[in-house]
Amino acid sequence: MSKKHVVSATINGDEVEFLCEARDTLLDALRNSLGMTGTKEGCSNGNCGACTVIMNGQPVVSCLVLAMEAEGANLETIEGVACGSELNEIQSAFLEGAALQCGICTPGIIMQAKSLLAANPDPSEQEIRFCLSGNLCRCTGYDKIVRAVQAAAAKKRSVAS
Amino acid sequence: MHAFEYQAPTKLADALALLAQHHGAAKPLAGGTDLIDQMRTGRYSPSLIVDIKKLDELNVLAVADSGLRIGAAVPCHRIKSNVQIQQDYAALYDSSQIIGGWQIQSRASLGGNLCNSGPAGDSIPSMMVLGGACVIAGSNGQREIPVEQFCTGPGKNVLQPGELLVEIRFPRPVARTGSHYRRMIPRNEMDIAVVGVAACVTLNESGDQFADAKIGLAAVAPTPLLATKVSEAIVGQPVNDTTMQNAAEVAKSIVKPITDMRGTAEYRSHVTGVLVKRVLQAAVVRAKGEILDYVPGH
């Protein structure tokens, strides 16, 4: 049995402590130590983006981050996207546009889209596709996903203005 | 993943001491986008991971009159979003925005790309053509070697056990210099280069002759390659189609590609020629101070 370490981080605004082994990935810690199973495991090697979370303002694939690296980090996961029972614009747009089939890729795509819209409130279709290139949808519903991100961006801009 | 220990020192001397104590059984961790996957698949099983992201020296990103310094742990997203790099070291910008997707660019570093020493490393030809030098620290002090001498074979490099790549330094480009990197992949993004080509060219005062030219090639030899023979075919020649076509032919004659799932040796040679010409044309556009109309994958 390997030694367990305590890691302190801020997750979705809350200060959290969790136990992990040095070999645990951030994805392991989120799902197993913290029971936050909204973040999905897809390929486990950084190709599919299903496990995307936002770490210190940048999207990362949590399967390629060691849990120990999260010490002191500010993390955002899918669980923190909605405000209580009120869905975020991106979540609403995915629901309204039926931009998901099996849904395994959806939390990662929403976190990635959230990063994009924070950096670029009015992305072109090409910019959305480039930004989402690290997120694979096995059901291949890409057009609806892109349209949902466009709709969310428009909604967000209209609320902001 | 196998069990290992994790340390995140805040002083370079402490990191070097940890690496030295473990005699090569410790691995430095920057973005981890190669290393963590390689540990998962069992290719590497270090007993200690030394997280180097808390070392100031490895987080330097400084553009000055003397040139550019990029700490070995600086992630691609910081490089691609730096306006001075976009302007004066554009090939580094080109590479940094196509290594993996955004999630990978949030973590992956140029130092890691070098130390992984893959023949298809997308940033390595760009670092070569921009005259990059690797600053390496060890228990006996620091040494500096040109980027083109760093990789020695697939997955192999000059680092001795206990040594750490600290930063990569680049001279400031002279006037009328432009650079570019692009690669051929079957999809638009998120793939490993079938062939990658970087070029950095300097034009003469009237802009009709190549005063200097460097070409870097990826995925066509056991290591990324600085193609000095191609430079010889370009320098002093007029900026025209004949010169660039000739450069493409010379490049094709010096590459030693393999046949694998990404392409045959013959195909890679052909693509080398096509890309050398296109990348030279693009570098010339930038050397003239014009905006290059280029979207990766299109």
Which residues does chain B have within 8 Å of residue A112's beta carbon, measured at their own beta carbons? 102-103
The 10s digit of each residue's pLDDT in B253-295 is 999 999 999 999 999 999 999 999 999 999 999 999 999 999 8
Residues B7, B79, B102, B294: what is their CA dihedral angle, to the nearest 10 degrees? -160
Can you give the pLDDT at residue A11?
Answer: 98
For residue A60, give the nearest of B3, B8, B103 by CB distance. B103
**How far does the CA of residue B150 sit from the closest CA of chain A (Å)?**
26
CA distance B282 to B295: 12
Show the 3-state SS of B222-252: CCCEECHHHHHHHCCCECCHHHHHHHHHHHH
Q: Are B262 and B226 in contact (CB under 8 A)?
A: no
Instruction: Give the C-alpha separation, A116 to A133, whole Å.
Output: 12
Average pLDDT of chain A to the nearest whole number: 96
Residue with tokens 């890729």: A105
Chain A positions touching B46 (Cβ under 8 A) are none
The string of pLDDT tens digits covering residues B112-135 is 999 999 999 999 999 999 999 999
> Rounded to whole angstroms, what are the CA distances from B4 to A51, B27, B48, B282?
23, 10, 5, 46
Given an 8 Å threshold on Cβ–Cβ distance, is A25 in contact with B8?
no
Average pLDDT over residues B241-251: 98
d(CA B86, CA B70) in angstroms, rounded, equals: 14
CA B117 to chain centre: 10
Residue contact A22–B296, C-beta within 8 A:
no
The Cα–Cα gap between B19 and B48 comes to 9
More confident residue, A2 or B62: B62
Q: CB–CB of A22 and B104 under 8 A?
A: no
Q: Average pLDDT of chain B?
A: 97
Looking at residue A1, its pLDDT comes to 55
Beta bridge partners of B179: B200
* pLDDT over 90 (residue A140): no
- B188 and chain A in contact, CB less than 8 A: yes
A38 touches chain B (CB under 8 A): no
Residue A106's CB: how many other CB atoms inside 10 A? 23
- Closest by CA to B251, choosing from B281, B223, B271, B222, is B271
Q: At what angle do helices A106-119 and A89-96 cross, to 10 degrees?
A: 130
State the Cα torsion B216-B129-B297-B119 to the nearest 10°: 40
Provide the pLDDT for residue B298: 62
Q: 């892109």: which residue's tokens?
A: A146
CA distance, residue A12 to nearest chain B CA (Å): 19
What's the CA gap between A156 and A40, in Å, rounded?
A: 26
What token pair was written down for A28?
């392991």
pLDDT given at position B24: 87
Q: What pTM does this model have? A: 0.96
Look at residue A160 in the predicted model and tell me its pLDDT: 85
Inter-chain CB proximity A65 and B36 less than 8 Å: yes
The CA distances from residue A155 to A107, A122, A150, B261, B284, in Å, are: 19, 11, 9, 44, 42
pLDDT at A64 over 80: yes
3-class state of residue A150 by DSSP: helix
When pLDDT is averaged across residues B235-243 and rounded to a whole number, the result is 98
Size of interface A-B (CB pairs under 8 A): 91
